[in-house]
Amino acid sequence: MPSGQFDCKILMQRSRVNCIAASLIFLKGDPKNTEMLKENIYRELTEIQGKIISGQELADAHDVSRTAVWKAVRSLQEEGYPVESVGKKGYRIAPGSDVLTADGIRAYLDDPNALRLCLYRRLDSTNAQAERMIADGFHGSALIASEEQTRGRGHHQSAFDSPAAAGLYMTLLLPLRVPFSEVADIGRLAGQAVLSSIRTFSDHDFHIEKISDIYDGDQKISGVLCEIFATDLESGCTDMVIAGIGIHLDTLKNAVTRDRLAAVVTNQLLASFKARFCSPA
């Protein structure tokens, strides 16, 4: 994701995209695909956080063998995800783990029904996922968040380091009509929303540089990458806005959960956009 830079793109084609309509996400496709099985098992375990689910239940739910489930869980553990084997009972997310959950985010949203929640264990980029959703015809509001990004994006085609369990990686996708002459305000408002949110949980010397990059002293801890989409350039306005936000959590460790921080950032940004551009549809 991150800095206050913009791309204007004309939507001319559609492509398939996996997104969710409910809090529990299951990706479409071959359930025997190892990465897909890992994603779905992890998401199921996070949504029943703390509870144990047996290997047989997981195998039946995803139409695979118990051996396939065991291998998927072992792989998740080797990658550092907090999945715990509980004797012969089954598996669970380790108690006290800071993982993203739909219920946890909704608990802190000002309006729990304001947007679709799309949560993932691993994505190439949350902004890229937003683009795929638009290309597939989604025109509503969504919060997309991932535990990890393999190709997190920064401005000027730079990379944004996004390892698992080390940060909050999220994108707000909003139907927003913004005159092209005012799009610079999107990045500025997003940066201020992130800054205000972080300051809620820490008294460190946070400040903004380069429109929307946030620093703790001389260390960059957050950035914003905004992209705008328009179907008709002659209209002079955007149709959809993507606000990608990456926050490294070293400074905030133990001060706030990722669920709560994601919700607070979302509340701040939606309020700022509503005040500046009128309410997103």
* Total number of domains in the chain: 2
Q: What is the CATH number of the domain that holds 224?
A: 3.30.930.10
Estimate the crossing angle of helix 66-78 against helix 55-62, to 10 degrees. 110
pLDDT in tens, 155-193: 667 778 788 878 999 999 999 999 998 988 999 999 999
* pLDDT at position 61: 92
The answer to whether residue 25 is domain-embedded is no
* pLDDT at position 156: 64
CA–CA separation, 207 and 213 (whole Å): 8
pLDDT band for position 32 (cuts 50, 70, 90): low
User: Domain check: are 122 and 197 in the same one?
Assistant: yes
Lowest mean pLDDT among 47-51, 188-192, 218-222, 239-243: 47-51
User: Does the pLDDT of residue 280 top 70, yes or no?
Assistant: no
Strand partners, 92: 84
The answer to whether residue 165 is domain-embedded is yes
Lowest mean pLDDT among 181-190, 192-201, 246-255: 246-255
User: Domain check: are 187 and 105 in the same one?
Assistant: yes
User: Domain check: are 15 and 131 in the same one?
Assistant: yes
How large a percentage of the chain has pLDDT more than 90?
57
* pLDDT at position 86: 94
User: Domain check: are 64 and 108 in the same one?
Assistant: no
User: Domain check: are 55 and 131 in the same one?
Assistant: no
Between β-strands 116-120 and 142-146, what pairing exists: parallel, antiparallel or unpaired?
parallel
The answer to whether residue 3 is domain-embedded is no
Domain of residue 157, residue span: 8-19+101-277
Strand partners, 83: 93
Confirm if 252 and 258 have CB atoms less than 8 A apart: no
Q: Is 10 exposed, middle or buried (0-12, 13-18, 19+ CB in 10 A)?
A: exposed
User: Domain check: are 81 and 189 in the same one?
Assistant: no
User: Domain check: are 82 and 132 in the same one?
Assistant: no
The answer to whether residue 83 is domain-embedded is yes
pLDDT in tens, 117-161: 999 999 999 999 999 999 999 999 999 999 999 988 776 677 787
Question: What would the mean pLDDT of 219-233 be, rounded to a whole number?
Answer: 89
CA–CA separation, 72 and 76 (whole Å): 6
Phi, psi of 96 (to 5 degrees): 85, 0
Q: Which of 93, 112, 143 delimits the end of a domain? A: 93
32 or 143: which carries more pLDDT confidence?
A: 143
Question: What would the mean pLDDT of 3-26 be, rounded to a whole number?
Answer: 36
User: Does the pLDDT of residue 29 top 50, yes or no?
Assistant: no
The answer to whether residue 233 is domain-embedded is yes
Q: Is 125 exposed, middle or buried (0-12, 13-18, 19+ CB in 10 A)?
A: buried
CA–CA separation, 122 and 202 (whole Å): 28
User: Domain check: are 197 and 267 in the same one?
Assistant: yes
Distances (CA, A) of 267 to 51, 108, 202: 29, 9, 18
User: Does the pLDDT of residue 3 top 50, yes or no?
Assistant: no
Token pair of 216, please? 């703790």
User: Domain check: are 77 and 137 in the same one?
Assistant: no
Confirm if 177 and 241 have CB atoms less than 8 A apart: no
Confirm if 165 and 258 have CB atoms less than 8 A apart: no
* pLDDT at position 118: 95
User: Domain check: are 271 and 151 in the same one?
Assistant: yes
* pLDDT at position 263: 97
User: Domain check: are 175 and 229 in the same one?
Assistant: yes
Comparing CA positions, the residue from 280, 129, 110, 131 lying closest to residue 197 is 110
User: Does the pLDDT of residue 230 top 80, yes or no?
Assistant: yes
* pLDDT at position 8: 44
Question: What would the mean pLDDT of 82-98 be, rounded to a whole number?
Answer: 92
